[in-house]
Amino acid sequence: MSTEQKQKILIVDDSELNRAILADMLDDEYEIIEAEDGLQGVGLLQQRGSEISLVLLDIVMPQMDGFGVLEVMAQNHWIEDIPVIMISAETGSSHIERAYELGVTDFISRPFDALIVHRRVVNTIMLYAKQKRLANMVADQIYENEQRSSLLIDILSHIVEFRNGESGLHVLNVRTLTELMLNHLVQKTERYQLSPSDISMICTASALHDIGKISIDEKILNKPGRFTDEEFAVMKTHSMAGAEMLENLPIHQDDPLVKVAYDICRWHHERWDGRGYPDGLLGDEIPIAAQIVALADVYDALTSKRCYKDSFSHEKAVDMILAGQCGAFNPLLLDCLRELSPDLPALMSGSNSVAQRDRREMRNVAQEIRRHEELTASERTLQLLEHERMKYSFFADMSKEIQFEFTVSPPMITLSNWGAEHLGLEEIIMDPFHQPDTMNVMDPADTQNLADALRSTSPDLPVVTYDCKLNYKGAWRWTQIVARA
């Protein structure tokens, strides 16, 4: 007997007869999932979207019609990954035109012709399967290119460090702190419009910040004592030397990575008050990439042992930077350092782990794929997500905790089976803030406080713990809510 898993088709139709007819036509080749209305269909897409290969969607349904389902799918970009065939007795041109505008792949009218239904289903699934294979190929290529680029940059930067008598961790530490600071900065302010792709590029380019030291005489570079004025003047030339190396590259001059690396090399010794070098830039005249790397560079220099000094503790290094003993920095960046400081040693250690680096690389791959509008998400990523969802479902069933998932768009709460039963709620609740039964479970003030706490999370500090009372089977009981954004 074949163990190959069948592809899944979601039939969303309020008519049990219509669902049965379609299931009879298709269940020999496909696994059929049924939803009795649009609301239930959206809930199943939210829960099991990565499994579903095709949606057969009716137009006229109670609670939420087919167009409502399509609008939710479009808002959440599900329509890009899951093809939809509209099914209806409504054959008016306005209905068909609107369905296609909302992203449906095909349209089948009732009464059903078994041959037409089968052929259109097969063709649609095959088309999207080819797109997913193409996405996998692109994902593999992007991943390999990113790995190769990172490897070459790391080799080159470590050569510089080896010449400089350093351990090889400086580049890694600067890159890690640069990423932590950038992620915290974009959560804190909209002043600098940096996408995840921009952050990834800056972190990669940060490894080249001291490439100009290749041009410095080793006697000066590795001098154990203080520099003379003449030696310091020579040492200061490394920032311009690195920038000129990148500027004189015979190829790739227009590559964004090269441009960011140029900014970092040339200006990572500029200071907020205009007293840095080589150009004496003031404030935000200094590119934000160079500002961040400058702060990361100083922090790691303070906390690392050098041929001319012992290392300072994390606390001492932060105090020195905040007190202005190491030059002037952007006040916003100092705020970020102050806010990250209590957790920074642990974050630095965790971010340098292999698992963390792999996750960052996969996130970068996903960002690259999203640049190509004609491509769907990586099949590999979908499989990983489905694996995590399977684990979640298993632990939720085994646990005596009320487990839930909340999505902002569309606003929806998905409760574990056990949790829904004990709270007296449905497992899938659309628009929960306008459902009296849902809102009666928690005091409105606690709902607002929890929402505010979740909004204050960041990629570095994503977990919120909140104690409050919940209405549990008619009695208010103290409960601890642990949520991860």
Q: Which residues contact 209 (CB under 8 A, 6 or more apart)?
A: 174, 242, 264, 265, 268, 293, 297
Query: Which amino acid is it at 261?
Result: A
Region 18-46 average pLDDT: 90
Residue pLDDT, tens place only, 340-379: 999 888 877 755 544 455 545 555 555 554 444 444 444 5
* SS3 state of residue 381: helix
In whole angstroms, what is the distance from residue 485 CA to residue 110 CA?
A: 44
Region 45-74 average pLDDT: 89
Region 119-140 average pLDDT: 77
Residue pLDDT, tens place only, 133-188: 776 676 666 666 666 556 556 666 666 665 565 545 788 889 889 999 999 999 89
What confidence score (pLDDT) does residue 143 get?
A: 62
Residue pLDDT, tens place only, 397-437: 566 678 888 887 778 888 877 788 888 888 888 788 888 88
Query: Which amino acid is it at 193?
Result: Q
Q: Report all structural domains of the chain as residue ranges with CATH numbers, in order of start.
A: 8-133 (3.40.50.2300), 164-352 (1.10.3210.10), 378-484 (no CATH)
100 vs 306, which has greater pLDDT? 100
Residue pLDDT, tens place only, 106-116: 888 888 888 88
In whole angstroms, what is the distance from residue 216 CA to residue 164 CA?
A: 10
For residue 292, the Cα-to-chain-centroid distance in whole angstroms is 21
Region 294-320 average pLDDT: 89
Residue pLDDT, tens place only, 222-242: 787 788 999 999 999 999 999
* pLDDT of 87 higher than 80: yes
Inter-axis angle of helices 314-322 and 288-303, nearest 10: 140
First to last CA, the chain: 43
* pLDDT of 55 higher than 60: yes
